[in-house]
Amino acid sequence: MIKNISVSVKLWLIVIPAILALGGLLFLFITRSNDIEEQSRTALYDEVYVSTALILNADRDFYQAVIAENSLISGGFMAEKTASLKNDFDENAQQVRDRMTQAIDNIKANSTLYAQFKHPSTDVTMEQLYATFEKEFNTWLEAYDASTGKGDIGTHLIAFDAARESINLMTELLEAYAESRSAEISSEVDRSIQTIAIIVGLVIAFILVFSTVIVMYLRNSIKYITSVSQKIAEGELAVKIDPKRISKDEIGKLSGATSQILGQLNGYVDYINEITQTLNAMAGGDMRIHLQCDYTGEFKKIRDAFTALSESLGTTLTSIRIASDQVNSGASAISSGAQALASGAQEQASAVQQLTASLEEIAAQTNQNAQNADQANRLARQAEEQAAKGTDRMREMLEAMDEINLSSSNIGKIIKVIDDIAFQTNILALNAAVEAARAGQYGKGFAVVAEEVRTLAAKSADAARETTDMIETSIRKVDTGTKIAQDTADALGKIVTGIENVAQLVASISEASNEQAMGIEQVNTGVVQVSKVVQSNAATAEESAAASEELSAQSEQLKANVGFFRTDNEYTFTELPNKQPPANKLPAAARSRISLEDGDMGKY
């Protein structure tokens, strides 16, 4: 059946007949064209044209023979000319006979043309016309001899006209035969065209019918698969594939594959229903997950995940139950211990408050001593600072004098350089004067300049000597002042040393007093902190007791909530023994006391 043929073959079945039909038509057209061409060539050329040409050539030769004969009849020619004319006559007459024989032999190849086809007006055949021609032609030759002038010229002329008439009728018969054959060939061409048109119409009709059948089959099949796919896309998985739609072609295979997909999807629906039921059971507290369907593909991973989830939730919920029971038991123990701790913390807070009052009184006395020591230390520091400033000023003055001495020495060196420059300038001026004198008239102006330079050098040397004397006097006075300042600086240094010793002693006293005050303050702060800690511990102990009671209530609620879930792991809780830790109390002999009347006070 057509549905078991593949789609590609179906499509080829539409194309191949057209190709075969076109090939057949082409072959038929070529064959008929060759046949018609062969018939046309044979009838119109080989038979009609060639024969007509031979007959017309024979007719021409006939006329040539008559012309030669007429020349012979007229006479008056030389013997040589007469022989030539006689030869032309004989030659043309023989050519007429030969050409007519060739034409008739060519026509005899077609028996129909030779013996059956008749002249349209005279109703004679080619055979009859040739027989008449041959008879009249022989009569023409035999009735009269133009070279001798013997014979019956009248019979001769009548035979000529009869032979010529036969030739004309032969050409007309060939022309009529050509027209007849042309009409037959045209009719045959028309029949071939009609045959080809009929075949083409049948092929087109077959292709249209076959194409329509295949297209309708493909359209209906694709439309059916599309509708099924649309229903599947809309979630309608109960649809069934018609078994008749399953075939061996691609669309039939697609229908089969779609049917398999539907079967698989229906199996997935079973998976989803079971998973939905399991999730609803989990929402109801049943954590015992046992999936029964044989899951495949990706759903197998879901089944494994649900199994692992069941085991994990069972283990986790069991652990939560155990922990909640233990928390409940521990909370009860913590509540009892916290109440005992709160009672002891209240007693400790009362004792710490009494100790704090005693330490505050000691701290007030120690702070007063520290303030007095600080005042004495500040005064000693001020005296030390003033003495140090005096020493610094004296040292700065000594440094300034040293710098003055150094500057004076440097100025002396500079003045020495100036003196040397003045000396060299004086020598140069003398040399310039000598050169000017040698130059004579041309060196007078230069001599005047040299004289001025020598005068300026002398003045510079005098100024340098005077400045040197003044600087040396200043240096001597600065040296004297430096010695006096050094003695003063030594005296101030001794004063500063004494003040520093006094300041160190006062600072030591102040530092000891401050350390003692800080120690008392730290002890007081520590006791206050201890008091706060004790009070905080008391409050915390009370809060812990309340929190432990709340924790116990919450653990009971947690236990009840966890008990809502049912798992494969069940257990029985054994309550832990309620152990209270021993109180860390120091023995009375181990407690140290601070005596304010002995030397322990010095530690602070």
- Within 13 Å and on the Cβ side, how many CA atoms surround 429? 17
Q: Can you tell me the mean pLDDT for 281-287?
A: 75
375 and 458 in a single domain? The answer is yes
Q: What is the pLDDT of residue 139?
A: 95
Q: Which of 196, 228, 260 is the last residue of a domain?
A: 228
Three-class DSSP category at 315:
helix
More confident residue, 188 or 367: 188
When divided into structural domains, the chain yields a total of 2
493 and 574 in one domain? yes
- Judgement on whether residues 224 and 305 belong to the same structural domain of the protein: no
Average pLDDT, the chain: 78
State whether 306 and 436 are in the same domain. Answer: yes
How many CB atoms lie under 10 A from the CB of residue 137? 23
| Residue 131 pLDDT level (bands cut at 50, 70, 90) | very high
What mean pLDDT do residues 126-153 have? 90
Does one domain contain both 176 and 31? Answer: yes
pLDDT value at 587 more than 50 = no
For residue 214, how far is the Cα from the chain centroid? 45
**How far is the C-alpha of 207 from the C-alpha of 186, rounded, in Å?**
31
Tell whether 35 and 123 lie within a shared domain. Answer: yes
Does 377 map to a domain? yes
User: Is residue 213 classed as helix, strand or coil in its secondary structure?
Assistant: helix
One domain, residues 212 and 334: no
- Domain end point (choices 205, 228, 251): 228
Please check whether residue 271 lies inside any domain of the structure. Answer: no
Do 17 and 108 fall into the same domain? yes
- The candidate with the shortest Cα–Cα distance to 352, out of 525, 170, 134, is 525
Instruction: Give the pLDDT of residue 589.
Output: 39
pLDDT for position 575: 56
Contacting residues for 108 by C-beta, under 8 A, at least 6 apart: 114
Query: CB of 35 within 8 A of CB of 278?
Result: no
Angle of helix 79-108 versus helix 126-143 axis, rounded to 10? 160
CB-based contact 568:314 (threshold 8 Å): yes
219 and 337 in a single domain? The answer is: no
Domain end, chosen from 213, 228, 243, is at 228
For residue 338, name the pLDDT band (cuts at 50, 70, 90): low
Per residue in 497-551, pLDDT (tens digit) is 876 786 787 678 677 767 877 877 787 788 678 778 767 876 776 777 677 777 7
Residue 238 lies in a domain: no
Same domain? For 327 and 445 the reply is yes
Question: By three-state DSSP, how is residue 77 classified?
Answer: coil
Residue 73 belongs to a domain:
yes
**Displacement of CA 19 from its chain's centroid (Å):** 48
Query: Quick check: pTM over 0.85?
Result: no
Q: Which domain holds residue 96?
A: 2-228
Q: Are residues 224 and 337 in the same domain?
A: no
Instruction: Supply angle C-alpha 260, 262, 263, rounded to 5.
Output: 65
**Cβ count near 110 (within 10 Å):** 20
Assigned domain for 139 exists: yes
Whether the CB-CB separation of 392 and 493 falls below 8 Å is answered with: no
516 shares its domain with 370: yes
